[in-house]
Amino acid sequence: EPSPTYEVTEKGKAQTAKIDGTSLDLEVDSDDFDDLEDVDMDLLDEANQNGDRGNETLTFSINNGDKERSEARKKRTFVPILKQERIMRKLIHKLVLFSMICHGAIRNRWCGDRRLLDMLKKTVSAEIASLFHQDNADVLSVVKAKRFVDGLRKLLTVFSRKFKVTSPGIQRRDWSSTGNTTEEKDRIMSFERFMKCVKTFHGSRDVGAQAFVAVLRSMGVNARLVFSVQVPDYRSIRPVKDGSNQKGEKENPIRETNKPKSEFDPVENPNYPVFWIEVWNKYSRKWITVDPIVFKVVEVMPMRRKCKFDAPAAEESHQTWYVIAYDERNVIKDVTRRYTQFYNAKTVKKRIGFASDEDAHWYSRVLRSIGKQKGSISQAEAMELKEFHDRHVCEGTPNNMADFKNHPVYALEPQLRQDEIIYPNDETSKCGTFRSSNKSSIMPVYKRSCVHKLKTPKAWHMSGRVLKVGAQPLKTKKAHILLYAEFQTELYIPPPIIDGKITKNAYGNVEIFRPTMVPENGVLLKITRDVSMKMLENAARWVLNIDYAKAIVSFEFGKALKNKRAPTAKEGGILIDAQYKEAMLAVLDGLREQEEQEKREAVELNALRSWNFFMKKLQIVSRLDRSHGKVTHSGEDADIPLEKEEIHKEDEEEEDEEGYFKKSEASEEGGFLLEDTKNEDLAINVSTEGMMD
């Protein structure tokens, strides 16, 4: 049989495909011809069978569809939030995180109150209590560990039946719901009310978990209160829609009346708990997770699969980014690694420590400051550290290409930034291979420790480092910008101060971007709220007469000018010889006191001037009252009507060269009348109307 003939005719950008009267409309991207595989070939075979196969014409119509694609792309994209909004979200994230950790620490102290423990100890039966402390040496540890878990299950069953949940407790709120104030709020919980709720076995889901911790501690069991802190995502760059809250209110109407809840009203419980418990099994030497309210489980968290407490990324009401454990000694520990399967690939990117080293240091300081400092490492803590290391090893490489982005352990070469490079780029840096599901190529996986960040020589100088002799650039960007890695640099050592003489640069100052850039025998006196640069210079130049230099601590970049941003040096203090430090501090104290004294004198002088002006006005009013009588404004006409010319004439006679009144013998003593003047009543009785005049 003769093969069919395919004819392609062009009619502008849009064409029509015809096969013996059968039309086919195809839209194919100009830069992607893989979509041609989606053509229905059965339709072509059917057309060939029905028509004359000797003379067949097939026409493909190719439509770029640039306009349609651009409109669809505009619909899919969104304008990200501004930099100020990102900074604000990060600050709110840290504030909520700090507040929630403090909240968990307070509740943990309440769970360890001796009065509460003595009260709860009486509620546990002797049969269950005996399973937690087994002193029989003939029984194997495996049997004791199993009995310990059985005791936890029995206690959980009894507690779950007895405790009644009345409210869901803490819930996660994202940026779209942060401004919604119509939600019902739980009453402010005091310790007395907490004791009452635990005693009567009713309260929120959070109180239920905290009560179960107190029950375990009353029997001498090493139990920790675990708090999954729910914070908004600071890495989200999507703006908040105006109608998001309104839509949520329509879909989930909230009761606005003040009618109290009935005991039989249903409680809407989220799918994941916020508080749960960890119990140390001293016989199996493992931490056992217990949730008596939501999941009602007693189990050891799995090592290689996802646990029940790890919420998916699409869950808006709960996320497992920060899991904090509080023990009975008020020691705080981050145990997020135990409850997340892909900690390095997904969870760590949502935590505040991923933003920068300063934020990671801030988070560790928060945990140390809120909790009690632990002494020597116990057996339970040592086993926990080993468990976290094993979980880190068992996580392995990510399953998709997106999780390799900024992964703390592994890296792919196509995902590197422009200022990053793999060195050495050989077999020693590789740790495996990765093949994407939609690509046939196999990419090598490199160690993140072999990925080096590159900077220019000026940027390294601002970091307190200089290039080594003979260092060659590892990468060159546009405009011949040479980039170097940190291992190609060394610590910058400035010239020391000898005999009080400071080595300055061409601009007459010194650059101190890092504390290591302070020269030997030198001291940097920084600018503070009370000490200005002018005060520092006056103390060094005019009082002590010593050599000093202004310290440039950073640069501020303004608006772009001709595709360049002009830097402005920021002064942070002065550099002096260390031998003059005590003298400078003493002089600065004296200058601060002098400045404060000048401010006080200025305030007093201003007050005296105001009183002087006020007293002169009183004298003028008193003289006018004695000369012309008091003037009232109660009626339309005054008591003693005066012509404007007479008032003007009287004012000219009484005015002096300063604009008040003419000095006389009776007013030479500070403006007051003397006692030996005319026999008049000198008491000044000034009415409100007179003061207004």
Higher pLDDT pick, 168 / 667: 168
| pLDDT of 622 above 50 | yes
* 408: preceding bond cis by omega (within 30 degrees): no
C-alpha 241/C-alpha 79 separation (Å) is 12
Higher pLDDT pick, 573 / 400: 573
Per-residue pLDDT band for 104 (boundaries 50, 70, 90) equals very high
Per-residue pLDDT band for 314 (boundaries 50, 70, 90) equals confident
Per-residue pLDDT band for 186 (boundaries 50, 70, 90) equals low
What are the φ and ψ backbone dihedral angles of 36, each rounded to 5 degrees? -65, -15
Residue type at 675 in one-letter notation: E
Instruction: Find the helix packing angle between 205-218 and 114-121, rounded to 10°.
Output: 80
Distance from the Cα of residue 274 to its chain's centroid: 21
Are the CB atoms for 243 and 112 separated by under 8 Å? Answer: no
Cβ neighbourhood burial of 504 (10 Å; 0-12, 13-18, 19+): middle
Q: Which of 194, 45, 236 is nearest to 107 (CA)?
A: 194
pLDDT score at 20 = 44
pLDDT score at 680 = 42
C-alpha distance from residue 325 to each of 101, 332, 366, 413, 638 (Å): 10, 6, 14, 38, 83
Per-residue pLDDT band for 686 (boundaries 50, 70, 90) equals very low
* Over residues 508-524, mean pLDDT: 95
* Over residues 580-598, mean pLDDT: 95
Q: Which residue has the tokens 């160690």?
A: 447
C-alpha 123/C-alpha 120 separation (Å) is 5
| pLDDT of 145 above 90 | yes
Query: Which range among 142-156, 426-440, 632-646 shows the weakest confidence by mean pLDDT?
Result: 632-646
pLDDT score at 72 = 59
Q: Which of 185, 271, 171, 298 is nearest to 228 (CA)?
A: 171
What are the φ and ψ backbone dihedral angles of 360, each rounded to 5 degrees? -65, -40
Cβ neighbourhood burial of 64 (10 Å; 0-12, 13-18, 19+): middle
| pLDDT of 572 above 90 | yes
Higher pLDDT pick, 118 / 19: 118
* Over residues 443-451, mean pLDDT: 93
Query: Which range among 135-139, 300-304, 339-343, 418-422 shows the weakest confidence by mean pLDDT?
Result: 135-139
pLDDT score at 156 = 95
pLDDT score at 317 = 87
Q: Which of 231, 463, 440 is nearest to 347 (CA)?
A: 231
pLDDT score at 64 = 55
The sign of the torsion formed by the CA atoms of 531, 534, 535, 541 equals positive
Q: Which residue has the tokens 């749960």?
A: 276
pLDDT score at 189 = 86
Q: Are strands 481-483 and 410-412 parallel, antiparallel or unpaired?
A: unpaired
pLDDT score at 478 = 80
pLDDT score at 331 = 92
Convert the pLDDT of each residue in 84-93 to its tens digit.
999 999 999 9
Are the CB atoms for 244 and 175 separated by under 8 Å? Answer: no
Share the mean pLDDT of the chain.
80
| pLDDT of 551 above 70 | yes
Per-residue pLDDT band for 198 (boundaries 50, 70, 90) equals very high
C-alpha 35/C-alpha 26 separation (Å) is 10
Convert the pLDDT of each residue in 646-676 to its tens digit.
445 445 554 444 444 444 444 444 444 444 4
| pLDDT of 689 above 50 | no
pLDDT score at 683 = 41
C-alpha 265/C-alpha 252 separation (Å) is 16
Are the CB atoms for 279 and 219 separated by under 8 Å? Answer: no
* Over residues 166-183, mean pLDDT: 74
Q: Interior CA angle at 440 toward 438 and 445, to 5°?
A: 95
Are the CB atoms for 451 and 419 separated by under 8 Å? Answer: no
What b/e string do you get for 516-527 counting C-beta neighbours within 10 Å, with b at 16 or more?
A: ebbbeebbbbeb
Q: Are strands 286-291 and 275-281 parallel, antiparallel or unpaired?
A: antiparallel
| pLDDT of 13 above 50 | no
Half-sphere exposure of 414 (CA within 13 A, CB side): 10
Q: Which of 159, 134, 127 is nearest to 148 (CA)?
A: 134
pLDDT score at 546 = 95
- Local structure of residue 462 (DSSP, 8 states): H
C-alpha 693/C-alpha 680 separation (Å) is 23
The structural domains of the chain, ordered by start, are 5-76 (no CATH), 83-178+187-242+269-363 (3.90.260.10), 402-453 (2.20.20.110), 610-692 (no CATH)
Convert the pLDDT of each residue in 468-508 to its tens digit.
999 999 999 887 899 999 999 999 999 999 999 999 999 99
Q: Which H or E run includes 598?
A: helix 581-628
Instruction: Find the helix packing angle between 114-121 and 191-200, rounded to 10°.
Output: 10
Convert the pLDDT of each residue in 379-400 to its tens digit.
889 999 999 999 998 998 888 8
| pLDDT of 299 above 60 | yes
| 80's tokens | 């990200």
Q: Which of 275, 233, 234, 337 is nearest to 103 (CA)?
A: 275
| pLDDT of 68 above 90 | no
pLDDT score at 125 = 92
Per-residue pLDDT band for 436 (boundaries 50, 70, 90) equals confident
SS3 per-residue string spanning 118-137 = HHHHCCCCHHHHHCCCCCCC
What are the φ and ψ backbone dihedral angles of 559, each rounded to 5 degrees? -70, 155
| pLDDT of 63 above 80 | no
Are the CB atoms for 121 and 218 separated by under 8 Å? Answer: yes
| pLDDT of 129 above 70 | yes
Are the CB atoms for 220 and 227 separated by under 8 Å? Answer: no
